[in-house]
Structure 1
Amino acid sequence: MEILSYMRLFVEVARTKSFRRAAEILEIPNSTLSRHIAELEKTIGLRLLNRSTRKVELTEAGEVYFKRCQSIVEEAQIAHELLLEVAERPTGTLRVSMPADLATGYFAPIIADFAKTYPLIAFEFDLSPHPVNLLAEPFDLAIRVGPPPSAPSTLVARPIAMLPRYLYASPEYLKHAAPLTHPNDLDRHVVCIVEGPARLGRVARTFHRGDESVDVMIGTRFAMNSVALSRALALRAVGLAVLDNVLASDDLALGRLVRVLPDWSLSPVLVHAVTETRLLPARARLFIDFLKVRLGVPALHFERSFDQRTP
């Protein structure tokens, strides 16, 4: 049992390339972690890590050992959590990175219900707009909007939602704006472009009406990486916002926004749960399944079509 514990400590140091960071994640003193790693190296009879004041690097033997230990530690953790799941007591800290707009606009009520369903799970959420490094940072999963990540190849992307998108504007904006009856008319309007990263310039967008589709180039004075900001600007009659029906529902009900080009929609966007491995702890698997059910995703269809290691 002691060797398995040492292997877990070694995997965390190898993954983070830092004794200090690994000690914080493992919640043990740095000196204790260093001593246990030294004992592991003594037991094996090989140096696994090259240490310096600036960084920690794996030796050749450490690289080989890390690849084998990582899967062993993951399997042991999964086995342990499966027993907890059988006992209906999933525990631990669920660490999730996700966009702030998605978290507040969609996931807040789902997270609240999930927390009530599994009261022994604690949560750490990172709402930074910049993608986290799942290989080096201690996150169970990241929620990402758009195509699945193409690198690194070890990441696993599971679709959990498909968001429809429509154009919305305030009645005040439409009072003074040019006529808007077809997507081609958008070149005479201000559209708040949401891109990550945000940058000005003309972008291509495809609009759909039944079996008909049309590609248009849209320019703007406002480029951003926040759907919430685009909505706020639309409410102030600055321009048009691209929103989904959930985020726009309250404003529609109160008459603060109206849907323009109501027969047309933009191409929907996929939302993925991205993980570093297929071997997920119970809390992460339960959370992903909970999201799929609540967001109405046909899980079997998506698993067959999209659940994959990205090329």
Structure 2
Amino acid sequence: MELLNDMALFVEVGRTLSFRRAAENLGLPSSTVSRRIGALEKAIGLRLLHRTTRKVELTEAGQLYHARCRRIVEEARLAHEQLGEMQAQPSGKLRASLPVDFATLYLAPLIAEFAALYPGIRFDFDLTPRRVDLVSEPFDVAIRMGELQDSNLIARLLARLSVQAYASPRYLQRAGEPQHPVDLSRHECLGFSTSGKWLLHRAGEEVEVAVGGRFQVNSVGMFQRLATLDLGVVLLPAEIVADDLAAGRLRRVLADWQGRATPVYAFTETRLLPAKTQRFIEFLQQRLGRE
């Protein structure tokens, strides 16, 4: 057990690259952490860390040992937690990275529902469009929309969201209603991709149309709002625009046509997940429509 505890100390030092921050995170004096890491290096017979007055770095041996130890420590922690689950609901802090607009416009009510189901879980959400590093950053899970990129992370498909074209009634009254996807080339199209093309399909037919407009925006919430202000046509998942449809701010156009479905994934660094993370992913899979 003492060896496992020292491995856990080393994992935290290797993650933070700081004896002080590791000690603070573990609630121990820095001198204790330094002494026990030194004893671990002596027992192994290899230098695991380069120490200077300004920084701490992993040696080549330290990098290899850190990768192995991290998984061993995680498995041990999960074993204790899973035994505890027999008597209690999942608890602890769930750290999740979420896409800004999708989280604000659609996930927020689902998160409220999940929080009510598991009162023992606390939440730390980081809303950002960037690709986070789940190895070096303290996130349990990252939710992202869009096709998979090459990655060493574990990806779980949560849903494929149906995508359609929408515009405000006043915009359609002013500009006319498109009857076929090719008509979109004569309309203001909001949030179009950098390729300048939209791909729409219906049974047995697929059309790629060149689109453009005055606004090219990298925020779903922004170009959705611009559409409600009568500035053009948007191509969005139905779940995102549900409130605007119900209120009459937007109306579906090209009713027989759909855009390419948008996948939603949950990314984790490992398949060995604590209960809080596993329950969160399972809940989103169920509520987003993928059993």
- Length-normalised TM-score, structure 1: 0.86
CA shift digits 1:168-191 (9 cap, x unpaired):
111111122144111111111111
- Residue 226 of structure 1: aligned partner: 219
> Residue 128 of structure 2 aligns to a residue in which SS?
coil
> Structure 1 residue 124 and structure 2 residue 124: aligned?
yes
Any idea what the Cα deviations from partners look like across 1:278-310, whole Å, max 9, x if unmatched? 111111111111111111103xxxxxxxxxxxx
Letter in structure 2 aligned against 1:288: I
Match of 1:186 in 2: 184
Tell me the residue number matched to 1:214.
207
Q: How do 1:1-311 residues align onto structure 2 when only pairs under 5 Å count?
A: 1-23=1-23, 25-26=25-26, 28=28, 30-151=30-151, 153=152, 155-193=153-191, 201-298=194-291
Structure 2 portions without partners, runs of 5+: none
C-alpha displacement of 1:265 = 1.0
Query: Is the Cα contact below 8 Å between 1:156 and 1:274 reproduced in 2?
Result: yes
SS at the partner of 1:214? strand
Deviation track 1:252-291 (CA, whole Å, cap 9, x = no partner) reads 2221111111111101110000111111111111111111
CA–CA distance in structure 2, aligned partners of residues 131 and 28 of structure 1 = 32
Question: Aligned with 1:47: secondary structure?
Answer: coil
Q: Note the C-alpha offset of 1:14.
A: 1.8
How far residue 21 of structure 1 moved from its aligned partner, in angstroms, is: 4.9
Q: In structure 1, how many angstroms separate the alpha carbons of the residues matched to 2:197 and 2:35?
A: 57
In structure 1, C-alpha distance between the alignment counterparts of 2:23 and 2:123, rounded to whole Å: 19
* Aligned residues of 1:193 and 1:224 also touching (Cα < 8 A): yes
Question: Structure 1 residue 142: deviation in Å?
Answer: 0.4
TM-score, length of structure 2 as denominator length: 0.92
Instruction: Indicate conservation of the 8 Å contact 1:6/1:37, yes or no.
Output: yes
Deviation at 1:242, TM superposition (A): 1.9
- Asked if 2 retains the 8 angstrom alpha-carbon contact of 1:173 and 1:237, the reply is yes
Paired position in structure 2 for 1:305:
none
Instruction: Please say if residues 205 and 215 of structure 1, whose CA atoms lie closer than 8 Å, have aligned partners that are also in contact.
Output: yes
8 Å CA contact retained: 2:98, 2:128: yes
- Give the Å deviation of 1:240: 1.4
Q: How many residues align?
A: 291
CA contact (8 A) 1:78 1:280 kept: yes
**1:200-219 Cα shifts (integer Å, max 9, x gaps):** x5422210112221111222
Identity of aligned residues (%): 53
Q: Give the aligned CA root-mean-square deviation in angstroms.
A: 2.1
- Structure 1 letter corresponding to 2:148: P
Report if aligned partners of 1:98, 1:128 keep a CA contact under 8 Å in 2.
Answer: yes
- Structure 1, unaligned runs of 5 or more: 196-200, 299-311
Q: Deviations over 1:95-145 (max 9, x none)?
A: 100111121222212211222222111111000121211111011110011
Contact 1:149-1:157 within 8 A present in 2 as well: no
Range with bigger deviation, 104-113 or 18-27: 18-27
Alignment-derived partner of residue 302 in structure 1: none
Matches of 1:32 and 1:161, distance apart in 2: 47
Give the whole-Å Cα distance in 1 for the aligned partners of 2:57 and 2:118.
Answer: 39
Q: Secondary structure at the match of 1:122?
A: strand
